[in-house]
Structure 1
Amino acid sequence: MSLADQVLAVNDDLPIRTDKPVHSGKVRSVYWLTEADSRRLIIEKGYDVPTDTPLAIMVISDRISAFDCIWTGEGGMRGVPGKGAALNAVSNHWFKLFKEQGLADSHILDIPHPFVWIVQKAQPVMIEAICRQYITGSMWRAYEKGERDFCGIELPVGLSRDSKLPELLQTPSTKGILKGIPDVPEADDVNITRKNIVDNFQAFNFKSVDDIALYEKLLTQGFDVISDALGKLDQIFVDTKFEFGYVKDKAGNDKLIYMDEVGTPDSSRIWDGEQYRAGKVVENSKEGFRQLLLSHFPDPDILLNKERMEEREALARDNELPANVLMQVSKTYTDIAEKITGEKIVLSDNPKAEIIKILKTQYQLVD
């Protein structure tokens, strides 16, 4: 069996019963279940949601995206072995910890397979909730150019690259293109201020202005829970992105929950503590892959400049990366997941066949 066979690259063609189009993102695909199947599963499995809640099957893939493009490798490798299972395992671990510590629920109701979540429909808050403990990445690039105002927060002078910030900062940006909000450009992923959110809370899908303080609290608490746990493993939680949404509880009331993924090597930067103390940044997250791409191609501006998207897409399409590069990324993902969860990430011989079998025999979702 080749490594390419163990990679789940295409995840939008599973024979799951659905009467809606499959939504396929960069990494995950979402299959909305029929009303009848949603209701049946809620009753059969005892999920703690109203019986008319729409459910979906969310299947992760091993695809790797960076700079808004999907990258592939030589020898037919359409993704990174172990990446999907590692990402889900890390998210599952943190979501469970959040619930145990009384923070908030997530959208996940069930985990039939390492690649699969059964989720309840959530109404997303249109904010990428970003928290930063160190100055690096886009914040450092802006700071180096002389910018001191970041998402309405005044940064002190004299900070050095990759240094710890005086306090944990929340630097939100837009999720998707939001139209008609004063002072907010109509573009995906643009930095916004707290004032932007408060003045236009409904446009960002908040049910009430009070929920802004709740999302900020859940963001900080979630960050601290992960940061403390990683600290015990001598890993530094540098920055991360959370997403929030609303679901109905059993009584039909709205509640704010964590959704998407949390604290993963895709959504966060994680540094090795020992190496950092020795003056070296070693990335245990996707940032290492991004840096590798920047040094791999002769003109890194193509990857950083949004005006050059066509060239960037051609670069990703026409350049298969060396297999050893993707295997190094695989090691980064599986190593950090095993460290966090304390459990081995096992590569499936045929993940697609396994998923279909489980969803057919245990959930009756495949005809």
Structure 2
Amino acid sequence: MNLAQSVLAVNDDLPIKTNLPVHSGKVRSVYWLKAEDSQRLIAEKNYDVEPNTPLAIMVISDRISAFDCVWHGEGGLQGVPGKGAALNAISNHWFSLFKQHGLADSHILDIPHPFVWIVQKAKPVMIEAIARQYITGSMWRSYEKGEREFCGITLPEGLSKDQKLPEKLITPSTKGILKGIPNVPEADDANIANKDIIDNFDAFNFKSKEDVSLYQRLLLEGFDLISTELAKIDQTFVDTKFEFGYVKNSAGTDKLIYMDEVGTPDSSRIWDTAEYNNGNIVENSKEGFRQMLLNHFPDPDILLNKNRMPEREALAKNNALPAEALMDVSRTYRNIAEKITGRTIQLSENPKEEIINILKSDFDLIK
């Protein structure tokens, strides 16, 4: 198999029926369906949404982003083989378990292909919902510099790197740049205190103050469920980011749901428990890739300093990483996905062709 060909790097050029521009993020591309196709699928597939709900095809890629840049490798490797399928498989697994345990639904209505979700339009809550069980990463870097207050929470003195925190913390940040909210910096990923969310719940797109408590409960219960399941396969759930939004069901009732992805190596830190107990950190998440980048380049400040974004973007564009570094990520992602789901992650020889064929034959969505 040609590894470069098995990678789905460009995912915004599929001939899917749409009359809107394709929205392409760092990893996923979103194709909003024409109204007549959305309505047809809702009727044909009996999706539990309002008949006029806009639907979209969400296609994941194998691109890898870190430090707000997309990276590539030698030999024409424009992504990580198996990464997209692994991420979707893990999210699908957790979303299904959340539903089984009565937590909340997700935005996903159908899974036609390992790279593809059919989703309903949601109104996003403008919060990156973050929960932490250990002090590491950005929190540790700030703590080491003397910071003790995070999102209105004061941490005790004397904590060590990678130590388990005295209690699980919710440390939300802004999703996008929000303007005119007291005490909330007008910046993406800015830390915010729970009191400021409650006092300005509508500015964050919450329907009520009670829903702020609901999001916290869904975050912590989702975290605990994943943590319990990972413990069964000797993995430690360190920290994670969830996203939430509102949708309407077929009766027109608003409901708060999980959206984007959950419990994946892209959105969470997962450590090997046996290694941690022996004093070693073995990452089963993107953190290992981030550390590789920090070690690979002579001036890691470029990757950590937001004021050096132009230099960072040039670094990512002009430097092909060793192919083995991307294959390390491939093994990490596929191994943890297979442990979590109990299923093999198959590398596709031509994912784009497969996606087009299934969306044409089963959904009549190809031009």
The TM-score by the shorter chain falls in which range? Answer: over 0.9
Match in the other structure for 2:286: 286
In the alignment, which residue of structure 1 is the partner of 2:176? 176
Q: Distance in 1 between matches of 2:235 and 2:83?
A: 19
**Does 2:81 match 1:81?**
yes
Task: Determine the structure 2 residue equivalent to 1:18.
Answer: 18
Question: Which deviates more from structure 2 when the two are superposed, residues 48-57 or residues 23-32?
Answer: 48-57
Compute the displacement of 1:63 (Å): 0.1
Q: Is the partner of 2:343 in helix, strand or coil?
A: coil
Supply the AA of the counterpart residue of 2:198. V
1:117 aligns with 2:117: yes
2:151 is aligned to 151
After superposing on structure 2, the runs of 4+ consecutive aligned residues of structure 1 that deviate more than 4 Å are none
The match for 2:3 is: 3
Matching residue's letter, 2:206: F
TM-score, normalised by the number of residues in structure 1:
0.99
Q: CA deviation at 1:2?
A: 1.3
Residue matched to 1:189: 189
**What's the counterpart of residue 162 of structure 2?**
162
Q: Cα offset for 1:199?
A: 1.1
What is the match of residue 237 of structure 1? Answer: 237
Aligned match of 1:353: 353
Q: Which amino acid aligns with 2:342?
A: G
How many residues are treated as equivalent by the alignment? Answer: 367
Structure 1 residues not aligned, in runs of 5+: none
- CA distance in 2 between counterparts of 1:86 and 1:317 reads 25
Give the equivalent residue in structure 2 for 1:37. Answer: 37
Separation in 1, partners of 2:166, 2:124: 31
CA RMSD of aligned residues (A): 0.5
Partner of residue 105, structure 1: 105
| SS of equivalent to 1:359 | helix
Aligned equivalents of 1:146 and 1:69: distance in 2?
Answer: 28
Residue 203 of structure 1 and its aligned partner are, at CA, apart by 0.6
Structure 2 Cα separation of the partners of residues 341 and 167 of structure 1: 28
Find the counterpart in structure 2 of residue 220 from structure 1.
220
Corresponding residue for residue 305 of structure 1: 305
Tell me which residue corresponds to 1:344. Answer: 344
Structure 1: how far apart are the matches of 2:146 and 2:289? Answer: 27
Separation in structure 2 between the aligned mates of residue 124 and residue 225 of structure 1, nearest angstrom: 23
Task: For residue 353 of structure 1, report the CA deviation from its aligned partner.
Answer: 0.2
CA–CA distance in 1 between the matches of 2:315 and 2:142? 26
More off after superposition, 117-126 vs 151-160: 151-160
One-letter amino acid of the counterpart of residue 185, structure 1: P
Partner of 2:270: 270
Q: Secondary structure at the match of 1:203?
A: helix
2:140 corresponding residue in structure 1: 140
Deviation, 1:211, is: 0.3
2:128: which partner in 1? 128
Q: What letter is aligned with 1:47?
A: Y
Q: Which amino acid aligns with 1:317?
A: K
Partner amino acid for 2:336?
I
CA distance in 2, matches of 1:364, 1:85: 23
State the SS of the aligned residue for 1:110.
strand
